[in-house]
Chain A
Amino acid sequence: MAGEAEVQLRERLNRLRSLPLLRGARLSGELERLQRQLERIVAEPSDEQIWRSVELARHPDRPYTLDYVERMLEDFVELHGDRGRADDAALVTGLGSFDGRTVALIGHQKGRDIQERSKRNFGMAYPEGYRKAMRVMELADRHGFPLITLVDTPGAYPGVAAEQHGQGGMIARSQAVMARLRTPIVSCIIGEGGSGGAIAIAVADRVLMQENAIYSVISPEGCAAILWRDAGEAQKAAAAFKPDAGHCLELGVIDAIVPEPAEGAHSDPDAAATLLKDSIGESLEELIGFSGDELRGRRRARFRSLGTLETVKAP
């Protein structure tokens, strides 16, 4: 089942091992990370492990976007409002300095306590949130700032007003804006990558995913309610549609897994942030230097390739 992703990883490992250790600790860190990824892929995760990812991805102490922002970015300035009707607190946007380079950041934000959760709508954005994200994407593009997005949402908000304000169309247009940007984009799924609400800000050049994050087309409960006609069968549903990082890597949906501290990101947010920052920095380095048109063309080709003829056969 491991297949192509495993072969690619093995090749990268061998290549790295044969390099003289010029970059020292950094390179050996990379080796270690690849080794762990490889082990993860080779060992097909059990249904219990998949469910553990679901639980860890939703852990109430898991670091959220702003926890990473304060550890990864300097001089962060949050930008508010969609310039139309509202400021959606479920999506945070801003500018900051990442290793001395100005970047734009967009991320879902869940709340820590009851009050904040309600203010941030549990990380479920309204169309206004995606419109704010779009204007910040365009701002990044205008000034050539690389864009970092952190995905952590159960999904876009399912409410009457959200529908009236055009939830579906806004998610479509947010993806379209990302497909047009001429600046590097790195996205990381840091918790729940819930369906349309997640992909709206994840059309990136490099898509990363934390070890215990999940990325899925529908919530396990939603899938269970439809296919099993019982939301209580969420665990079975998760085992069937495999939202864990290992499977997402294997299917080519993400480019790399970002390791977490052994007990999960919530056990040591500082360490989790360091690991995340390293991975994002590495991805950005790979992208800086490409022209805007190249970036855009490759980005579209990346998504074009998901589900081509190699995986779709004639009868």
Chain B
Amino acid sequence: MAARIDVSIEHKHAPPEANADGKPHPNTCPGCGSHYRDDELEQHLNVCPQCGHHFPMRARARIAQLTDEGSFTEEAGELRSDDPLGFFDLRPYTERLAEAEVATGLGDAMVTGHATLDGAPLQLAVMDFAFMGGSMGRVVGEKFTRACEAAAERQVPLVSVTASGGARMQEGILSLMQLPKTVCAVEDLHDAGGAMISVMAHPTTAGVLASFASLGDVIVAEPGALLSFTGPRVVQQTTREKLPDDFGLAESNYRFGHLDAIVPRPELRDYVARLLRLFGNGG
């Protein structure tokens, strides 16, 4: 009979049983199977210390990562969506909204405000995938637009961090209109001489990729992030094409020239700070 000894670090971090719905526990690394406590993940900026997999990062944690402590002032936090279409699928939209707010503590899928990073002022627009898949409806469109306006007025760069499945279906065509709305906002910002740095986190897809996220003066992504206009499942179903292993991933986008860099999360703060210095010292 084998001696009962603790043979490996893996056992200490053994993932719990899969949830009832068959999905692995959110703290289990899909890259290497390691499992972490919340505080362990938090300590490593939600990046797996074993294999470097980037777990999702909530908006507030992201803001903490990219700003000087205590410098962030939230703006437009009071905005909430109503239900312009009286949308009802399997459940009413209003119910989904309320549930998302309770679950995330956020009013919608984007948090905006101003802060400093290494003392340099910046405007922030940070998305949170946990709020209805980071989908963009009118509140996200309005918050982003106001962030552009504030950045122009304060003459500071705008840093946008996206994590979104695209436009929010429940607001119908009005969600599609947030694409040109946010595009016009970036154009106004650029006309005012403002800079925009776009950081694409996993996933940045569909309507958000096809609008403001792609219009940064500098565009970077986190490793392994899915950045595609159409998701792999739909592409596969529609075209029956064999998808490359890295379909739509940041690495593929970088190779095809759509990104300036892939920046691992632990290096992001310094990277953004350097860009802020460069844009701050121009003309």
Give chain A's interface residues, CB within 8 Å of chain B: 156, 158-160, 162-169, 171-173, 175-176, 178-180, 195-196, 198-200, 202-203, 215-218, 222-223, 226-228, 236-237, 240-243, 247-248, 251, 253, 299-300, 303-304, 306-309, 311-315
Contacts and interface: CB of A to CB of B under 8 A. Distances in A.
Contact of A240 (B87, B173, B244): B87
Chain A, interface SS category: helix
B40 interface: no
B256 A307 contact: no
B229 A303 contact: no
Contacts of B138: 306-307, 311-312
B278 interface: no
A306 B235 contact: no
A172 B215 contact: yes
B2 interface: no
Contacts of B46: none
Nearest to B209: A168
Given A169-B209, A175-B211, 4 more contacts: A223-B169, A300-B184, A303-B181, A312-B82
Interface string B80-105: 11101101111000000000000000
B194 to A, nearest CB: 15
Contact of B174 (A168, A173, A178, A251): A251
5 contacts: A167-B228, A215-B176, A307-B138, A307-B141, A315-B107
A162 B228 CA distance: 10
A241 B181 CA distance: 20
B84 A168 contact: no
A147 to B, nearest CB: 15
Interface of B: 78-82, 84-85, 87-90, 107, 137-139, 141-142, 145, 167-181, 183-188, 205-207, 209-215, 227-230, 234-235, 238-239, 241, 243-244, 247-248, 252, 256-258
Given A164-B256, A175-B180, A243 B82 contact: no
Contact of B183 (A165, A167, A175): A175
A79 B206 CA distance: 29
Contact of A217 (B139, B167, B184): B167
A169 B214 CA distance: 5
Contacts, number: 198
Contact of B180 (A166, A167, A203, A251): A203
A312 B79 contact: yes
A315 B172 contact: no
A253 B205 CA distance: 23
Given A243-B172, A300-B187, A304-B184, A169 B258 contact: yes
B199 to A, nearest CB: 15
A215 B173 contact: yes
B169 A171 contact: no
A180 B184 CA distance: 9
Contacts of B248: 163
A49 to B, nearest CB: 16
Given A167-B229, A253-B174, A304 B212 contact: no
A169 B257 CA distance: 11
B252 A241 contact: no
Given A196-B179, A196-B210, A163 B173 contact: no
Residue from A178, A180, A217 whose CB has the most chain B CB atoms within 10 Å: A217
Q: Which 9 A-B pairs have the closest CB atoms?
A: A307-B138, A168-B209, A158-B230, A172-B214, A168-B229, A241-B172, A227-B89, A169-B214, A171-B210
A202 B227 CA distance: 24
B215 A306 contact: no
A216 B142 contact: no
A228 B89 contact: yes
A53 to B, nearest CB: 13
Contact of A304 (B168, B185, B214, B258): B185
